[in-house]
Chain A
Amino acid sequence: MSSSFLAILSVGLAGALGAGARFLTVEWIARRWRRPFPLASWLINVGGSFLLGLLTTALIAPAQLGLRTLLGVGFLGGYTTFSTLSYETFALARRNETRLAWLNAVGSVVAGLAAAFLGLWLGLHIR
């Protein structure tokens, strides 16, 4: 078994866990939040952006790069999602929830970017 095979397998497993964590988060929040705005996806994406920023600057030692790929590319890559964000924005617009559609698209990008910057900054300081 080559190391690249193991790398692919471990990223796949971490991505599966990320997708599973996203599914459970959505299930949990959807039982409590009964409004049209897709709060669960928003929280997942913004939170995941913060964590990826944090990992990116905190784990920079050569020995940590494998872990960074596992957590960043695997887990957080599987946890956060762009396809659901796109579809939910389209679905809101299609049902004439135009303001919520804009809020979802712009709000995700603005908050996600701020969260990523915060994570990158914090990672530099806690390292």
Chain B
Amino acid sequence: MCRTQARTESAIQVIRKLIFTLAGGFCGAIARYALSRPLLLLAATLPGAHAGFPYDILFINLTGAFGIGLLFGAFEQGMGISPDLRLALGTGFLGAYTTFSSFMVGASMLMQRGAEMQAMLYLVGSMAAGVALASAGFATAGAAIHGRRQMRLWFSETEEELVDGGWDERGALGDAAIPELSMNLDQDAAMDDAEARR
């Protein structure tokens, strides 16, 4: 009885998370689809543009990498962003807005067309810039949070006034774990979790 109840609750939780992911994914896929043609047309007007190069996917993936750096960076550095919002914007919107499959197939098509140099630049450049922009988004979020804290410090009489308004102080000091990621960086917590499950 108790176990069934717990299972039902966890199923409801998963469905709730799924709904937020679906909503974000719907908007993200539409944003990518709608931006693709205008981006290609815009790129074609630039001097030195190569016909047939996937500028649309390049732009979309890099802006999405910066966006996720901002979002998860803000959360990890102490800004209270609810799990629902993280799922809708991170896993849903940015996850669906950016795409890896078109990146890979686009690069292989460049290679098949004999544009190996372009393909290599596309592969290495996208991946390096993606990680660099995720890092830049993280740093930007950190600077914004720090700036906000400084401002509030100047305008508030006491230190205590800072602690309010959905700001996770624990996160500000260290790292708030992001459960949406498919990685387990907190090994100790993972072990405890595994123990608890047994």
**Do chains A and B stick together as partners?**
yes
Report which A residues bind B (CB closer than 8 A). Answer: 8, 11-20, 22-24, 26-27, 29-30, 33-41, 45, 48-49, 51-53, 56, 72-74, 76-95, 97, 101, 105-106, 108-109, 112-113, 115-117, 119-120
Q: Interface size on B (CB < 8 Å)?
A: 64
Tell which of B27-35, B151-159, B164-172 binds the partner: B27-35
Asked whether, in the complex, the Cβ of B135 is within 8 Å of the Cβ of A90, the reply is: yes
Q: Which residues of A contact B182 (CB under 8 A)?
A: 26, 29-30, 38-41, 84, 88
A45–B28 Cα distance when bound, in Å, is: 17
A81–B22 Cα distance when bound, in Å, is: 14
Q: Which residues of A contact B101 (CB under 8 A)?
A: 45, 48-49, 51-52, 72, 76-77, 79-80, 112, 116
Asked whether, in the complex, the Cβ of A16 is within 8 Å of the Cβ of B65, the reply is: no
Report which B residues bind A (CB closer than 8 A). Answer: 14, 17-18, 21-30, 32-34, 36, 61, 64-65, 67-69, 72, 87, 90-92, 94-105, 107-109, 112, 123, 126-127, 130-131, 133-135, 138, 178, 180-185, 187, 190, 193-194
A86–B26 Cα distance when bound, in Å, is: 21
Asked whether, in the complex, the Cβ of B194 is within 8 Å of the Cβ of A83, the reply is: no
Asked whether, in the complex, the Cβ of B181 is within 8 Å of the Cβ of A88, the reply is: yes
Asked whether, in the complex, the Cβ of B94 is within 8 Å of the Cβ of A83, the reply is: yes
Give the residue of B94, B127, B194 whose beta carbon is less than 8 angstroms from that of A105: B127
Apart from A84-B95, A87-B68, A88-B182: 12 A-B pairs, beta carbons within 8 A: A15-B33, A38-B181, A39-B182, A41-B182, A74-B29, A76-B101, A85-B130, A91-B183, A92-B183, A93-B131, A112-B101, A112-B104
Give the residue of B69, B94, B194 whose beta carbon is less than 8 angstroms from that of A34: B194
Give the residue of B61, B94, B98, B183 whose beta carbon is less than 8 angstroms from that of A36: B183
Known A52-B101, A82-B130; contact A87-B181, beta-carbon cutoff 8 A: yes
For B14, B17, B34, B102, which residue has the most chain A Cβ atoms within 10 angstroms? B102
Q: Which residues of A contact B127 (CB under 8 A)?
A: 86, 105-106, 108-109
Asked whether, in the complex, the Cβ of A15 is within 8 Å of the Cβ of B130, the reply is: no
Asked whether, in the complex, the Cβ of B104 is within 8 Å of the Cβ of A115, the reply is: yes
Sampled A-B contacts (19; CB under 8 Å): A11-B30, A16-B22, A18-B25, A18-B96, A23-B87, A23-B91, A38-B183, A48-B100, A49-B104, A77-B33, A77-B101, A82-B126, A83-B134, A84-B95, A87-B65, A90-B69, A91-B185, A108-B127, A112-B104
Give the residue of B28, B108, B109, B190 whose beta carbon is less than 8 angstroms from that of A19: B28
A52–B134 Cα distance when bound, in Å, is: 25
